[in-house]
Amino acid sequence: MKIRIVSLSLIILSLLNLSTFAQNVDVDAFEKKIKETPNAYLLDVRTSGEFGGGHLPKAMNIDFRSPDFNAKVAQLSKDKPVLIYCLSGGRSAQAAEQMRAAGFQVTEMKGGYLKWTTRLKPLEGVPDVKHDAAWNLADFKKEIASSDAVVVDFYAKWCAPCLKMMPTVDKLAEEFKGRVTVLKVEADGNQAIMQAYGIDEIPSFIVFSKGELITKTSGFREEAALKELFTATKK
């Protein structure tokens, strides 16, 4: 019986250790951890270009895709906890896995930088650039309700896939002129709309027909796939 009790205790302790060293928390919990562990490394593993478009206050940048990622991480002290994030969670998950294997205590932020910004959390290093006019949520809802077919393009000026698709979106907007209304919503400044429609990744597209949501998708799309969005409201 004593052996069983000891074994059970060891299992519980092991699980507790795993939960301590392998955490994936939401934005509010992540912000709380930042405040509670001021000595932690706050690590942004996006590209330098993404980092330059804005980041969490006091974050350091090590690009996960860069060849010297492991070399730079090796210079960090394993005695300090690591709070890690990327754009939406994919890269930070891979980076966290590697760092945990190397002996680091890592906490990931669910949803990444996109989720942080949609929750209107504080930012640092946002460039002083001219942004497109922000939408009023009520006006946005009226606009999508007044048209038979609406394609909404959620983008950011620091988002390479968004910029790459923009000429194609404009081309299709002209091709479907009079049949489909195209609305462009810049992520920066339109957090209320992004929250209202559950947009936590860019680029993203939503198709409406007379105010009814027809389809929603995210990620880079070639012209043929984009064209499918413009025909999605056809019966």
**Per-residue pLDDT tens digits for 121-148:** 888 988 776 778 889 999 999 999 988 9
How are beta strands 106-109 and 22-25 bridged, if at all?
parallel
Letter for the amino acid at 48? S
**Whether residue 119 has pLDDT greater than 80:** no
**Mean pLDDT across 52-75:** 94
Q: Which domains does the chain have, with CATH numbers?
A: 2-118 (3.40.250.10), 137-230 (3.40.30.10)
Residue 6: CB atoms within 10 Å: 10
Q: What confidence score (pLDDT) does residue 44 get? A: 97
Q: What confidence score (pLDDT) does residue 20 get? A: 44
Percent share of the chain, pLDDT over 90: 60
Pick from 125, 128, 104: which is nearest to 58 by CA? 125
pLDDT class of 166 with cuts at 50, 70, 90: very high
Query: Side-chain half-sphere of 213: how many Cα atoms within 13 Å?
Result: 9
Q: Which residue among 162, 172, 180, 187 is the active-site one?
A: 162
Q: Which residue among 159, 169, 180, 199 is the active-site one?
A: 159
C-alpha to C-alpha distance for 192 and 137, rounded to whole angstroms: 7
C-alpha to C-alpha distance for 133 and 131, rounded to whole angstroms: 6
Letter for the amino acid at 32? K
Q: Is 86 a catalytic residue?
A: no
Percent share of the chain, pLDDT over 70: 89
179 in Cβ contact with 227 (< 8 Å)? no
For 138, the enclosing helix (H) or strand (E) is: helix 137-145
Q: What confidence score (pLDDT) does residue 235 get? A: 52
CA 44 to chain centre: 12
